[in-house]
Amino acid sequence: MNAIALEASFALNVALLLMLVAIAAAIAWTRSLVAAILLMGVYSLASAVWLVVMDAADVAFTEAVVGAGVSTVVLLGATLLVRPGPVRVDWRRAIAPAVLVVGVGALLVLAVSGLASFGDPSSPANAHVGRSYLVETPNDIGIPNVVTAVLASYRGFDTLGETVVIFAAGIGVALMLGFGPRSSLPQPPVQPGEHHVVLRVTARLLIPLIILFAFYVLFHGDLGAGGGFQAGVILAVAPILHALVFGLHATTAAIPAGFVRGVAALGVLVFAGVGVVCMANGGGFLDYDRLFMPRVEAMIPPGLLGDPTHSHNWGQHFGILLVEVGVLLTVSSTMVTIFYGFAGRATHDVGSAR
Amino acid sequence: MNFVVTHFNYLAVIVLMMTGLYVLFATGNLIKRMIGLALFQTSTALLYISLGKVAGGTAAIKIYPDSPEAQALAAQLDPAYVAQFGVSGVVYSNPLPHVLILTAIVVGVATLAVGLSIAVRIREAYGTIEADEIEAVRAREPGE
Amino acid sequence: MTLFEAIYVTPPALTAQAPILVVAGPLIGASAAALSPGARTAWMVSVLTAAFALWMSVAVVTEVAREGVVDYALGGFAPPLGIALRIDALGATLALLIASVGLLGALYSGHALSSEVYPGKHGLFQAGYLLCLAGFLGLVFTGDAFNAFVFLEVSSIGTYALVAVGEARDRRALPAAFNYLIFGTVGATFYVLGVGFLYGATGTLNLVDMSVRLAALGDNFAVQAGLAFIVAGLGVKAAIFPLHGWLPGAYAGAPSLVSVFLAATATKSAIYLIVRFVFDVFPTGGFGQTFLALIVAPLAAAAAIVCSVQAIFEKEVRRILAFSSVAQVGFIMLGISLATTGGLSAGVFYLVAHALMKGALFMGVGALAISVKARTVEEFYGLGREAPWSAAAFAVGAASLAGVPLTMGFLAKWSLIAGALEAGALWVVATLAVGSLLTLVYVGRLLEAMFFRAPLPGATRAHEAPFGVLVPLLVMAGLSVWFGVDSSLPESLSRASATGLIGSAR
Amino acid sequence: MLLAAGVAGLVVAMGLMIWRAIAGPSPYDRMLAGNSFGTKTVLLIAVIGYLFGRPAFLDIAIAYALINFVTTIALMKFVRYRTLAQPLCSPHDTEAKDG
Amino acid sequence: MADAIHWIGGGLVFAGTLLTLLGGVGVVRFPDVYTRIHAASLTDTGGATLVLIGLGILSGFTLETLKLAFVWAFVMLTTPAAANALANAAFSAGHKPRIGAFQIMKGESSEGAGPAQRDGGVAP
């Protein structure tokens, strides 16, 4: 059993990578945009499985919900609005890019030849800082998931930047496409007697479960794979599913676009606010050890939640949680803003912009 | 040949990157180009993850040292290997690339959304999303 | 430095936190601007935030002048485990530049924006503007290779959307923004790839730690190709010659505020990061400088000539200025690739000078375009008499671009020639001379059009820009003259930057 | 041993789904293949979680199942109805239209 | 006892994947959309049930069993619903089944006919 796990890991690695290459080639080859978008989703799912094999559980989580979920929906929304013809292929125009790509590939192979071989535990990448995180996290942060510890605490500033990037994308899409549904949305071609009662019932059952699962992922991020970002995307999937099944107008009636935008900004404020509070208490920006004023910190009973050794990590626990909540707010509301922007825009023709 | 075996992951990822770049540069359709860009960015992520894999390692979510889970994982590996590269008896993969790639994936989806929204506006302003047709329309405009 | 010591009033508690406040302030301001109810409130938030960022960067500059290098560990974790900000003289110089242009731009946007952006979107627009500001400031302050990527993307994603907003005036902004997005993202991804290779070879992302480990490593394909990817990736953002394709369209199409801000800061912060990697992270005299001298310098020289010629044959004023930017980036990179103290400090001085003059020029174009939608050179005929103040400020910027004495541009060219002669690089001097002559041609054409031509028959008459636009414009142009006469501040900053870089690498 | 064989079987099944997704011919075939591919990845994650001794990965499997469903619905609406914003008909709506 | 659990659980997992694999063969070999949906959705739910029960037996009764039950519930909820939606949409879009009573009645063949059958008007 044991040796088999190692061999299976290697075989899966190779098989999935070959599968990814095949899917990528198919994406390049196909002329159907729908097929390309669908294959992109399949690519994401396959790469997510590969990521699990590579022990990157958190990344697999994110790649699946983002790549297969949000990206696909956004691509579909955009394709609807641009109503493209088939992708044209002009072989004469493909030669220069091919030469360029081969050049880049050659440089990449050259670069890769200087790297340590795959899986080497003593390679510089794995031996230096990466290993220090594994050794130091139990003492510094005190949570089991090292990825969350690095993400939210050691490199919390990166995560603030990441949240801001998402926020910026929300701003960009809102600037380009507006905020929500127009009155003149196209009517779908429905056949007489056609209906989707099964989907409506299933969606009604699923939406509360999705929201519940999102909060589980948020609060479980310290202990296992997951965290604010993944939870945010999953939370955003609930209104997206609602809009897909019950219509965008019903969704915006429940969750107005302005509210969503406000929450996105609020999330950034929560994250940065945690940093400022730490600063006000005499620490550095995002130094969660100083999240509580010394007076408050003294009041925390040692051994709260049954962990006597790590009571000095309370600031870290709370800081990470608050920061993840900020990420969740921004990510989920930005994803919903983006969906509203794409799904809610009516198709325009030339000259009728705005 | 040995190089191909020890660096197989990197080489496969390079093929993926080249495919993405090729799609990006060879097609005129703006949506297909965004797909190519997404493919390229995702493949970069795969390179980082390959860098952080440790042979025989497990996900960097701590397992309590003496739990049966930890013992089962340690039993798969040579004890000397575990002693040298493990952290309290368990060999973990490197968490840092995972963190970086989480950020990069987010950046990727942000770029995708903004790029597609611009593509939609291009369609509304020019009536096409083929790069050469846009060029043709632009060339006819005054001031060029 | 005396100027700042005189006006320097910052509480010590804030001084200690100033490096992070420079970056975090605009981030918080951006969310506040997005939340603000009206266009006016959003503008005020924007101005206040930019002013705060400028105040804090002044505090950082003073601190750097006293200490040499300022380190700030985020999250209370010492690098390389945590992310650290590391501000040397060059970073402080650029932060001061970016924050000043940011504040002037924010002031300018009060009036200029209303004619270009739908009022209901001002809040989001200002939020995007502040995010760009935060991104550029973070980029020059961070001491972590991956964190730099994050800030690169913060600024870029904001910029793509802001450029595209220019479609309200000119629909060509849309394909330009898309092009910029594709180029910029490929560039950023190349940067990430390069950082990945450096990480794979050194195991760290902290720039200081990385330089220590690289010095011990010696030659390695991963490291060398990594640097090539980093320079190529950042070269896209810095518009180094063959990678500049996105720039003219983006500068020409963007709303004038965005053109001003991008022209003054975007390429500069990317150049900063290239300099940082080549001189600070890579060992002195090693592969980095060879790469710069053998590959980047010839391209920069080509840019200085080719793009100046392109600028001469352009019809649109903004595109002339944009091509001129690419050529001037060539000059800056020429100075930097000399890799001597003189060359580097000339490059940095030129960089500051160029930011100020291009800021003034694009602001001037924007101010003139408020009353008439002038785009081409013909449409600029006679504007000098109709809007004298805006035109005068534009002329000052143009004079600085051409290198007229008593402007900053003259000193910049002078120090570049001095640096090249000192390094014995005569071909740089020759390139500079040819490039400057070409610059004179297109600048002369612009000034002639504005001051010595009668307006086209039937053209609408322009009138002077509103006061709120004029003040930042005149300040920006005034700075070019002020520093052209009393150049002690930029001179000392660029000298300190150069010695810091060459010295720190030894 | 049996688990490893199961993994192999799932990977082969995934390959077959990719074939169907590429070959089409109708978009519904592709969507079917995509959806079925998703279900197989859910199972694969579950099995390799046990095989590698980390059953906590099941959380990821749940997320896959959810996302897979939403993506399939979005694709279906795209191909069949050319809109993401309009609601799917309930039986009540259709009756009203018929009458 | 542990050995028996190992074999029974592993056997169920293997049987489940075998079922999935057979379904995969069906998806590749069957002639039209409806039969392919049939092959995929039945074997997916059946295979998932077997695999997840097998894993449940392997893990004993822990928190993971609960998660397995959740995965099972989600798969059982979503896969048939999605299959139904696809078949519904395909039928109302004008795809005719290729085999079975319907075709004999109408005497039509389906594959490649009608504008709605192309990739929603997007593909060539």
Q: What is the pLDDT of residue C371?
A: 75
**Model confidence pLDDT, tens digit, residues A101-123:** 999 999 999 888 888 888 888 88
Model confidence at C182: pLDDT above 90: yes
Q: For the residues C400-409, what does the mean pLDDT come to? A: 88
CB contact under 8 A, D62 and E48: no
Pairwise CA distance, residues D48 & D54, whole Å: 8
Q: What is the pLDDT of residue C403?
A: 86
Model confidence at E113: pLDDT above 70: no
Chain B nearest-CA residue for A79: B31
CB contact under 8 A, A49 and D41: yes
Model confidence at D9: pLDDT above 70: yes
Pairwise CA distance, residues B46 & A20, whole Å: 11
Model confidence at D16: pLDDT above 90: yes
CA-based nearest residue to C95, from C143, C144, C156, C140: C140
Residue A7: CA count within 13 A, CB half-sphere: 9
CB contact under 8 A, D53 and B59: no
Q: For the residues C203-212, what does the mean pLDDT come to? A: 90
Residue D64 Cα, gap to closest chain B Cα (Å) = 17
Question: Residue B144's pLDDT band (boundaries 50, 70, 90)?
Answer: very low
Q: What is the pLDDT of residue B1?
A: 65
Annotate A250-280 with DSSP letters as a single string: HHHHHS-HHHHHHHHHHHHHHHHHHHHHHHH
Segment 78-97 of chain D within 8 Å of chain E by CB: 78-80, 82
Q: For the residues C44-52, what does the mean pLDDT come to? A: 93
Torsion of CA C356, C358, C362, C367, to 10 degrees: 40
Q: For the residues A320-335, what does the mean pLDDT come to? A: 94
CB contact under 8 A, D56 and B58: no
Chain B nearest-CA residue for A12: B9
Chosen for mutation from B43, B54, B111 (greatest number of chain A CBs closer than 10 Å) is: B54
Model confidence at E110: pLDDT above 50: no
Q: What is the pLDDT of residue E116?
A: 40
Chosen for mutation from A199, A201, A204, A213 (greatest number of chain E CBs closer than 10 Å) is: A199
Q: What is the pLDDT of residue E119?
A: 42
Q: For the residues A285-307, what does the mean pLDDT come to? A: 72
Mean pLDDT check: name the lowest of A279-293, C75-89, C239-253, E99-113: E99-113
Q: For the residues E31-43, what does the mean pLDDT come to? A: 90
Mean per-residue pLDDT over chain C, rounded: 87
Chosen for mutation from B62, B64, B69, B93 (greatest number of chain D CBs closer than 10 Å) is: B69
Q: What is the pLDDT of residue D94?
A: 57
CB contact under 8 A, B124 and A350: yes
CB contact under 8 A, D2 and E55: no
Q: What is the pLDDT of residue C120?
A: 77
Angle among Cα A331, A332, A335 to the nearest 5 degrees reads: 80
CB contact under 8 A, A97 and B22: yes
Q: For the residues A60-85, what does the mean pLDDT come to? A: 89
**Model confidence pLDDT, tens digit, residues B75-115:** 778 888 888 888 888 888 999 999 999 999 999 999 999 99
Contacts of E41 in chain D (CB under 8 A): 36
Q: Does E69 touch chain D (CB under 8 A)?
A: no
Indicate the DSSP class of residue B61. Answer: B
Partner-chain residue, chosen from E85, E120, E123, that has the shortest CB–CB distance to A31: E123
CA-based nearest residue to C267, from C101, C81, C25: C101
Q: For the residues C249-270, what does the mean pLDDT come to? A: 90
CA-based nearest residue to C317, from B138, B143, B140: B143
Contacts of A222 in chain B (CB under 8 A): none
Question: Residue C486's pLDDT band (boundaries 50, 70, 90)?
Answer: confident
C274: number of Cβ within 10 Å:
23
Q: What is the pLDDT of residue E105?
A: 47
CB D98 within 8 A of CB A196: no
Question: Residue E1's pLDDT band (boundaries 50, 70, 90)?
Answer: low
Fold of B2-53+94-140: Helix Hairpins (1.10.287)
**Model confidence pLDDT, tens digit, residues C126-162:** 999 999 999 999 999 999 999 999 999 999 999 999 9
Q: Does D28 touch chain E (CB under 8 A)?
A: yes
Contacts of A273 in chain C (CB under 8 A): 28
Partner-chain residue, chosen from C34, C72, C197, that has the shortest CB–CB distance to A171: C34
Q: For the residues C166-185, what does the mean pLDDT come to? A: 88
Give the H/E segment covering residue A200. Answer: helix A197-220
Q: Does A332 touch chain B (CB under 8 A)?
A: no
Indicate the DSSP class of residue B130. Answer: B
Q: Does D28 touch chain B (CB under 8 A)?
A: no
Touch of C by D (3+ CB pairs closer than 8 Å): no
CA-based nearest residue to C184, from C227, C147, C153: C153
Q: For the residues A38-45, what does the mean pLDDT come to? A: 93
Q: For the residues C374-402, what does the mean pLDDT come to? A: 85
CB C408 within 8 A of CB C396: no
CB contact under 8 A, B102 and A59: yes
CB B17 within 8 A of CB B43: yes
Residue owning tokens 């020019």: B126
Chains that touch A (3 or more CB pairs under 8 A): B, C, D, E
CB contact under 8 A, D17 and E89: no
Bridge-partner residues for B29, per DSSP?
B130
Partner-chain residue, chosen from A108, A129, A268, that has the shortest CB–CB distance to C204: A129
Q: What is the pLDDT of residue E121?
A: 38
Q: What is the pLDDT of residue C5?
A: 55
Q: What is the pLDDT of residue C4?
A: 53
Give the H/E segment covering residue C86. Answer: strand C84-87
Question: Residue A304's pLDDT band (boundaries 50, 70, 90)?
Answer: low
Model confidence at E117: pLDDT above 60: no
Is the peptide bond between E31 and the residue preceding it cis, with omega within 30 degrees of 0?
no
Q: For the residues D13-27, what does the mean pLDDT come to? A: 90
CB contact under 8 A, A61 and D63: yes
Contacts of C161 in chain B (CB under 8 A): 114, 117-118
SS3 content of chain A, % helix, strand, coil (to 5): 75, 0, 25
CB contact under 8 A, A45 and D37: yes
Q: For the residues A55-79, what does the mean pLDDT come to? A: 91
CB C413 within 8 A of CB C432: yes
Indicate the DSSP class of residue D89. Answer: P
Q: Does E23 touch chain D (CB under 8 A)?
A: yes
Burial A126-136 (b: 16+ CB within 10 A, else e): bbbbbbbbbee
Chosen for mutation from D45, D48, D52 (greatest number of chain B CBs closer than 10 Å) is: D52
Pairwise CA distance, residues D85 & C385, whole Å: 55
Reported ipTM exceeds the 0.90 cut: yes
Mean per-residue pLDDT over chain A, rounded: 85
Enumerate the domain spans of chain B.
2-53+94-140
Q: What is the pLDDT of residue A311?
A: 54
Touch of E by D (3+ CB pairs closer than 8 Å): yes
Residue A98 Cα, gap to closest chain C Cα (Å) = 16
Model confidence at E123: pLDDT above 70: no
Chain B nearest-CA residue for A43: B39
Model confidence at A313: pLDDT above 80: no
Report in angstroms the alpha-carbon separations of E88 from D76, D80, E35, E93, E111. 10, 10, 13, 8, 17
CB contact under 8 A, D60 and A195: no
**Highest mean predicted confidence (pLDDT) among B38-52, B61-75, D76-90:** B38-52
Q: For the residues C464-484, what does the mean pLDDT come to? A: 87
Q: For the residues A87-98, what does the mean pLDDT come to? A: 78
Chosen for mutation from C17, C23, C27 (greatest number of chain A CBs closer than 10 Å) is: C27
Residue B76 Cα, gap to closest chain A Cα (Å) = 5
Mean pLDDT check: name the lowest of C3-7, C80-84, C355-359, D57-61: C3-7
Question: Residue A181's pLDDT band (boundaries 50, 70, 90)?
Answer: low
Question: Residue E120's pLDDT band (boundaries 50, 70, 90)?
Answer: very low
Model confidence at A127: pLDDT above 50: yes
Question: Residue C14's pLDDT band (boundaries 50, 70, 90)?
Answer: confident
